[in-house]
Amino acid sequence: MKKLGNLLLSKKPFREIVMGNTALVRAMIESGTEVITSYPGSPTPEIASSISSIEIAKRPFYFEFSTNEKVAMEIAYGAAINGQLSAVFFKSVGLNVASDTFMQLSLMNIIGGMVVILGDDPGLHSSQNEQDNRHYAKMSYTPLLEPSSPQEAYDYYLEAAALAKKKHIPVLLRLTTHVCHTKQKVSFSSWDGDAEKKESLFHSTNGPYIPITSKVIPMKTRALTNISSIENDGIADSFATLVNNSNKKQGIITMGMPFLSLLDVLSNIDSPPDILKLGMTYPLPKQKVIDFLKDHEEIKILEELDSEIEQMIKAFAFDDALTGLKIMGKQNIEDWIGEYTPEKITLMLSSIWPEMVKHLIPETRKGTLKPRPPQLCPGCGHRSAFHAIKKALKEEDITVADIGCHTLGHLPPYNMGEVLMCMGASPAIASGLSLNRGSRNIIAFMGDSTFYHAAMPSVVNALFNNHDFTMILMENGTTAMTGHQDNPSSGKNFNEPAEKIPIRKVLEGFGVQHIFEIDTYKQKELTSIVKEAVSLKGFSVIIAKHPCMLKLTRQNRKKKSHSLKHVEINHNLCQMHKDCIEDFACPSFSISDNGQIQVNKDLCIGDGSCRQTCPISAINYPSEEKTI
């Protein structure tokens, strides 16, 4: 990692195989970005991992993981109106959280410039929806760049930063999962390494910064004027590339990852269609698009997710009264869903131009890899919690999940969490459910990062409006789902040790009357605490804590003295109740060919949380094995 850090700080130009997320960090350094903020979410956390490879004292910028995306964006904005070039990055749905702030950004005179990096997730590799954030660009009058490769992620960041600085605006840089995670040999430029320390430049007269009713119209006019100048002054044009220019009949307009898939598909075709590859997709390079339309008889638009570009292009054709031209965008529901892989593009093209691609229709991929369903890790405290909580609840009780590793509790055999929405939503949804709960108990689950991210207002609301349910706060001291980023209950931030903000004290400060706290490995006690909590009138909270065992095991493995324990089944005792497999469901257990329960030593971390689940204590550590 240190090697990567040194490379990222190299003053000389270099070429290196890196993923898109890492290429961005070098671009941040070269462009003189001074403040970078984020909240973790796939596919972007590796931007932070790359940052962490640079020694703190040598980082030419400030970086923090903030408590949520809105806070992250506001910090970046604050820095940018003080003259510092800033960037904020997060996953697709992060923009929903940040949108209340984001929608005003283009109204302000952001003197330092600001780049908003989005990790959209077509194909839902790790998200709760497949939202297409390009809508936000149009909605907020913010220019939008869409790189298709790590090289372009780097190039476009530099362009985005330059544009943001020049026009004092926010610029959106939208990457998708594969652009973030693909590796490519990227050519980087030099860096002079002399980040000049600027003075604090904020002054209210630099504004406008106050979007109150009477002042917004000129601010909006300025935002629209900026967009119009980017469209008309050749800036959007400079990101458009014509690939092939020899097919007067068929043309394809595309961008981002679909462009790369398309190149794959067309590599074997003798007379491929012309391609107009767009880099800026809002505003569109209008004249270039119109010229391309005029030059062809049939146009296919290939864009993942929604029909953003298609609608704009069809409007251009209409306004320009282009006739005799066929523009083909989305043709069926599948076209709106998932990544545009080479296979998908081949199928799409074969339905419109069968002659062209008939020899390319791929064989349906045979499933050679066994699907690996998501599951809680061996030793996960959440598993112990769900196992214990289930014992305390009645069949008709209602459990509301939240976002995090603990979401996996909805899977069998736990079936804990029958409703899920977005980060921090469970307490308020539980409040709504509790309004007519009858004799049913309502339980909301919550992770610690999520508590600080978006749940506190609904916890306060539960108290304010006297809602009647139990929240189980699964505290593992980290943001586990996205790769163990620190959060306010971790006792450190990205850069240094930080005062741990104890959830219990926060809840006490809010005035929660019924707070229980227990280690989730104490399953019996947890079961009785849940029974007690749900029997109480009003809002109660159980802090069900246990450190994230994946994180802990990794840390321990680095220690030389560490030796890994495993549990074993005492086959003399085992009566095949199978609670360890069927109820507790630790992936370390399975049935062997001879019909006995076996422990997979590659998976077992020896935590022993399973031992209490066996009714006849047949799970032991080797040294304590009992015989009948």
Ligand X SMILES: Cc1ncc(C[n+]2csc(CCOP(=O)(O)OP(=O)(O)O)c2C)c(N)n1
Q: What residues contact 544, with CB distance under 8 A and at least 6 apart? A: 381, 385, 389, 472, 473, 474, 475, 518, 520, 526
Per-residue binding letters, 420-459, with ligand X (x by CB under 6 A)? ---x-----------------------xxxx---------
Does 360 sit near ligand X (CB under 6 A)?
no
Does 40 sit near ligand X (CB under 6 A)?
yes
* Least Å from the CB of residue 480 to ligand X: 3
Question: Quick one: 483 or 608, whose CB is closer to ligand X?
Answer: 483
Q: Which of residues 452-491 bind ligand X (CB under 6 A)?
A: 474, 476, 478-482
Whether 101 and 80 have beta carbons less than 8 Å apart is answered as no
- State the residue for tokens 């749900």: 534
* Least Å from the CB of residue 196 to ligand X: 34
Long-range pairs for 427-432: beta carbons < 8 A, 24 or more residues apart? 427/455, 427/458, 427/459, 427/461, 427/462, 427/469, 427/471, 428/458, 428/461, 428/462, 429/400, 430/398, 430/400, 430/467, 430/469, 430/471, 431/458, 431/461, 431/462, 431/465, 431/467, 431/469
Whether 153 and 179 have beta carbons less than 8 Å apart is answered as yes
Q: Which of residues 298-317 bind ligand X (CB under 6 A)?
A: none
DSSP for 130-161, please give it.
---THHHHHHHT--EE---SHHHHHHHHHHHH
> Tokens at residue 340, please?
């545009």
Residues 493 and 408: their CA atoms lie apart, in Å, by 26
Does 405 sit near ligand X (CB under 6 A)?
yes
Question: Quick one: 288 or 484, whose CB is closer to ligand X?
Answer: 484
Does 546 sit near ligand X (CB under 6 A)?
no
* Least Å from the CB of residue 116 to ligand X: 14
Q: What residues contact 529, with CB distance under 8 A and at least 6 apart? A: 516, 518, 542
Question: Quick one: 23 or 549, whose CB is closer to ligand X?
Answer: 549
Q: Which of 54, 376, 403, 518 binds ligand X (CB under 6 A)?
A: 403
* Least Å from the CB of residue 124 to ligand X: 11
Q: Which stretch binds ligand X (CB under 6 A): 103-111, 173-181, 298-306, 403-411?
A: 403-411
Q: Which of 91, 168, 296, 546 binds ligand X (CB under 6 A)?
A: 91
Does 170 sit near ligand X (CB under 6 A)?
no
Whether 144 and 133 have beta carbons less than 8 Å apart is answered as no
Question: Quick one: 184 or 449, whose CB is closer to ligand X?
Answer: 449
Residues 409 and 150: their CA atoms lie apart, in Å, by 36
* Least Å from the CB of residue 42 to ligand X: 7
Question: Quick one: 96 or 307, whose CB is closer to ligand X?
Answer: 96
> Tokens at residue 101, please?
């702030």
Does 381 sit near ligand X (CB under 6 A)?
no
222 vs 85, 116, 169, 228, CA distance in Å? 20, 19, 10, 10
* Least Å from the CB of residue 72 to ligand X: 10
Burial 284-314 (b: 16+ CB within 10 A, else e): bbbbbbbebbebbebbbbbbbbbbbbbebbb
Does 184 sit near ligand X (CB under 6 A)?
no
Question: Quick one: 300 or 484, whose CB is closer to ligand X?
Answer: 484
> Tokens at residue 246, please?
């020899």
Question: Quick one: 502 or 538, whose CB is closer to ligand X?
Answer: 502
Question: Quick one: 22 or 478, whose CB is closer to ligand X?
Answer: 478
Report helix, strand or coil for 38.
strand
Q: Which of 256, 329, 342, 404 binds ligand X (CB under 6 A)?
A: 404
Q: Which residue stretches of 569-608 are H helix?
A: 579-582
Question: Quick one: 140 or 482, whose CB is closer to ligand X?
Answer: 482
* Least Å from the CB of residue 424 to ligand X: 8
* Least Å from the CB of residue 447 to ligand X: 2
Site size for ligand X (CB under 6 A): 23
Report helix, strand or coil for 350.
helix
* Least Å from the CB of residue 491 to ligand X: 14
> Tokens at residue 125, please?
């590799």
* Least Å from the CB of residue 380 to ligand X: 9
* Least Å from the CB of residue 252 to ligand X: 33
Does 520 sit near ligand X (CB under 6 A)?
no
Report helix, strand or coil for 328.
strand
Task: Name the residue number minimizing CB distance to ligand X.
Answer: 447
Question: Quick one: 51 or 569, whose CB is closer to ligand X?
Answer: 51
* Least Å from the CB of residue 169 to ligand X: 24
Question: Quick one: 374 or 615, whose CB is closer to ligand X?
Answer: 374
Question: Quick one: 59 or 383, whose CB is closer to ligand X?
Answer: 383
Does 254 sit near ligand X (CB under 6 A)?
no
Q: Are strands 398-400 and 280-282 parallel, antiparallel or unpaired?
A: unpaired
Does 97 sit near ligand X (CB under 6 A)?
yes
Does 116 sit near ligand X (CB under 6 A)?
no
Question: Quick one: 44 or 182, whose CB is closer to ligand X?
Answer: 44
First CA to last CA across the chain, in angstroms? 52
- 620 has which bridge partners? 568
Q: What residues contact 357, with CB distance under 8 A and at least 6 apart? A: 265, 269, 346, 349, 350
Question: What is the contact surface with ligand X in residues (CB under 6 A)?
Answer: 39-41, 91, 93-94, 97, 403-406, 423, 447-450, 474, 476, 478-482
